[in-house]
Amino acid sequence: MLSVLVWLPIVAAVLVGFWPGLAAERARQTCLVVATALFGWSLWLVARFDPAQGGLQFAESIAWAAELGLYYRLGVDGVSLPLVVLNALLTWIALYSSPSGVKRPRLYFALMLLVNAGLTGGFVAQNLILFVLFYELGLIPLYLLIAIWGDSERRNYAAMKFLVYTAVSGVCILGAFLGIALAAGTSAALDYNASLTTALPLQAQLILLSLLLVGFGIKIPLFPLHTWLPDAYTEASPPVAILLGGVLAKLGTYGLLRFGLGLFPETWHLVAPGLASLGALTAAMGALAALAQKDIKRMVAYSSIGHMGYVLLAMAAATHLSLLGAVLQMVSHGLILAVLFHLVGVIESKVGTRDLDVLNGLMNPVRGLPLVSILLLVAGMASAGIPGLVGFIAEFLILQGSFPVFPVQTLLCVVCSGLTAVYFVILLSRTCFGRLDNATAYYPAVGWSERTPALILTVLILVFGLRPGWLTIWSEKTTGEMAASVNTPGPVARVASKIPQVRSIPLNPLSTLP
Amino acid sequence: MTTTRTKLPPSKHRYATVIHRLEAGGAMLPDTPENLMQIIGLYKAYAVPMDFYWRDLLYIAERVFLDPLPFFKYFLPGEYLERPNHYAGDTADLRIWRGGATAHPELRAFIERGESGKMPRLLHHLWHDRINMEFAEACMRAMLWHRGMGGRFDPYLDTDEYRANADRAIRAYFQGNPAMLALHRLFPEMFIEQVRQLSYYSNLGLFWEVMAPVFFEMSDLYDEGKLTSVPEAMNFLVNGIFAVAGRPIYHHAHIRGEIFEIVPKSKGFTWLYEAALPYVEAVFYRTAPFRGTKSYNAQAKQVPEDQQDFHFGILYADVFPVGTAGIPPTLLMQDMIHFLPPYLVDYYSKHCRGEQDTLIQLGIGFQRSMYCVTSAVIQALRSALFYPLDDPNPRHLEANRRFFELQIDRFNRPEARLLDIQRQDYR
């Protein structure tokens, strides 16, 4: 079942890329049909998924190159399922919001599908080598998507920077996985399994975990490995930025959760305090850098770094509540960032600038972009964690879950959350409010095809904000087991056991949520 | 002896092109067929609601008077709809428009049906599907508030004679109403000030009574192909101004069948000096910073200290206020959109966002047309106070130029739209 999600886009990409005489519009339509099918399929998976079961479901396994430890082994659990669905949704959104008049359309659409396949593969791969393969599969198409279809002259620079950083990230992860294989001395399947590392000495575990941290830290990205992100996000066209920020960054956090925390539960607590501080630092850096930006897309890009910091804090704390918050934050951030990038793209295409000093008064009902402005307002509020929207739920779970373990870092993140509101208020007040000057405001009207993706995402942000239970139900069991595996024997658990409310908090309040 | 005619050297003014155009008998608005079509179309769209405005202004000044609860002041009675315009129809003192003297048929149809269809007038009123009389009142208030803009009408409002006339009318109106009479005794200035305002109602009503037929006639001439350029349109206005310059401006109140001459005709106040010029000054140039169009910060000196430096009129306006109810330019645009000639509807649909932003497009077109009206006023003043444009004496031409430059200096402010209207793509 999962293979369909992986192979359908690859087959479709090949067909779209090589089918003789395929017209641009037809290529787009084909890709949209495929993306719809993928989204439908992922929803069907959701329908068949048993949330009461914490382990892998829909597992598939074929020996591929057994001597290398490479098995074609797929499966989803409560952590990867929401991300698989998110990937399918955002791919559809990205394809839908791609204009059919894009240059070299067949290559473009084929690459978008390949990115989707790589990301889905990454989320469902249960074999370490297979994961690296999929991880790398997304890299080249994204490099090309930035380099060929980027926004400005700096796109080549941004794409190359992205390629170098992400390649290093891939090498680190591959190195760590091979290190696990070597150190474990096993020629057995390099499958995802915590027992792979239990025999390793602590020092080796620390080295391998650090390698993974660097590898995934680049992808997320964490301070100070983040410098590729503002360039790549800003230079990428909006649909590509949606995939980059909405899903690709989640592959980093997912990888860290799955392979960092999952494979090294014993060692995790040793690095956790540092990670939590790094998370808070990343959040602070993202927020402060966003405050200083004059380009709204760059502002959104930096806000993305900040939000990833919360995820790291939550993973470092590794309580049931915080891990659940981390998964929720991945999804919520994916939705919010996608809508922000889409809207910024619409604004840029209509107004012709992203400069905060030039933009003004877009809320004007007649000559402005009123609906776009309203949606931007909602997305900004969601990103700033205003109650009633999905961003609030995610941040609340993270902060509440992390506070008992890392109070100082959590409080710093609370401050950063406040800063998020500040820079979004700056963005919104400059962009949407104020006075539209009729000397410049001859913007084309926004069509329904441009509004639809943002409307869909906004509805989801609202619905999940009001009914977070619909989102948390899938991951509760898995994150609970993960938290238990980390906290059972180690010092973290001892610390946590001194604080009874940590144990009492999990999910009781959540289950009463609407 | 032959005199050599020396042409003046080119002006060094920032708006030299405009000044040269004025010297050649043109308008501030460039002479293009597109401009002509826009301004004439909007004169027509403006004239229909204006036909309501002047009638209702006079109705309020004469009949509603000091009604403390004037809920129905916008419900124009048939008598005022039938009231013959003095410059149209067979009974005209001076027939400017060849059409009828009573309310315009399109206006009557709109009063009847509005946008929402036929229903009782009260429902139309509550649904705000009606002529926005508030716009006319805002113009009147601009004149009242600025005051002192030339002419003898305004100083007269502060004379003892006026106060005595007003007092008489107030006592007659509140006859048998001891409460209001007691109020009048307690606060003797209160009702007098109200009557001053009513005198401005009358002033503006009498002013617009002339302008409506002028605009109708211009529209008809354009439709007949007899008005073919912007200078022709402007000259029609100049001629119209001179033709009716001496029209008396007065304020009579009709109280219980008796007419109270609050500002008697015998005072000799005239249309040009006591109504037209103060109107242009108050409404086109000054007005007031309408709330909602933009946030003005008085402490940051965004609002001038002296009223005469105000510059919020249509010649300076950023015609974007659409969307917030109650702002006078918005109200006027909303009134005009109902009466656009088909060629303008067609024209707007082809530009910018078509139907979606017609209100703004027509607002900017209206700005163009008011630059044409202001040009006519400037040319009329030049004609009255200075010299002909083809005067052979260079000193006279020099004086004309100084006058033009002085007038155009008022558009040196950054907010002025004079530069914008030179471009056809300013919509």
What average pLDDT does this structure show over B24-36? 95
What average pLDDT does this structure show over B216-230? 95
pLDDT of residue A488: 64
Q: Coil, strand, or helix at residue A57?
A: strand
What average pLDDT does this structure show over B232-239? 94
- Residue A505 pLDDT > 70: no
How confident is the model over A256-298, as pLDDT tens digits?
988 888 888 888 888 899 999 999 999 999 999 999 999 999 9
- Residue B320 pLDDT > 80: no
pLDDT of residue A489: 53
CB contact (8 A) between residue B320 and residue A365? no
C-alpha dist (Å) from residue B115 to A277, A436, B46, B338: 64, 29, 17, 8
Percent of chain B with pLDDT over 70: 95
B356 touches chain A (CB under 8 A): yes
Mean pLDDT (chain A) is 85
How confident is the model over A307-359, as pLDDT tens digits?
999 999 999 998 989 999 999 999 999 999 999 999 999 999 889 888 888 88
Confidence of residue A511 (pLDDT cuts 50, 70, 90): very low
How confident is the model over B169-202, as pLDDT tens digits?
999 999 999 999 999 999 999 999 999 999 999 9
What average pLDDT does this structure show over B154-159? 95
Distance CA B277, CA B264 (A): 20
Distance CA A155, CA A150 (A): 5
Question: Lowest-confidence range among A156-170, A220-234, B75-89, B284-298?
Answer: B284-298
Distance of CA B12 to the CA centre of its chain: 32
Residue B357 is nearest to which of A366, A437, A439, comparing CB atoms? A366
Query: Chain B: nearest CA to A357, how far in angstroms?
Result: 18
pLDDT of residue A154: 85
Confidence of residue A501 (pLDDT cuts 50, 70, 90): very low
CB contact (8 A) between residue B323 and residue A364? yes
CB contact (8 A) between residue B353 and residue A437? no
Residue B320 is nearest to which of A367, A442, A444, comparing CB atoms? A367
Mutation site for B-interface testing, chosen from A367, A369, A443 by largest number of B Cβ within 10 Å: A367
Distance CA A335, CA A339 (A): 6
B23 touches chain A (CB under 8 A): no
Residue A438 is nearest to which of B320, B353, B359, comparing CB atoms? B320
Residue B360 is nearest to which of A367, A437, A445, comparing CB atoms? A367
Measured distance between the N- and C-terminal CA atoms of chain A, rounded to whole angstroms: 31
pLDDT of residue A60: 82
What average pLDDT does this structure show over A404-428? 92
CB contact (8 A) between residue A436 and residue B360? no
How confident is the model over B2-19, as pLDDT tens digits?
444 457 899 999 999 999
A437 touches chain B (CB under 8 A): yes
ipTM of the complex: 0.71
Residue B82 burial by Cβ neighbours in a 10 Å radius (0-12, 13-18, 19+)? exposed
Distance CA A67, CA B338 (A): 82
CB-CB neighbors (< 8 A) of B348 in chain A: none
Distance CA A96, CA A29 (A): 9
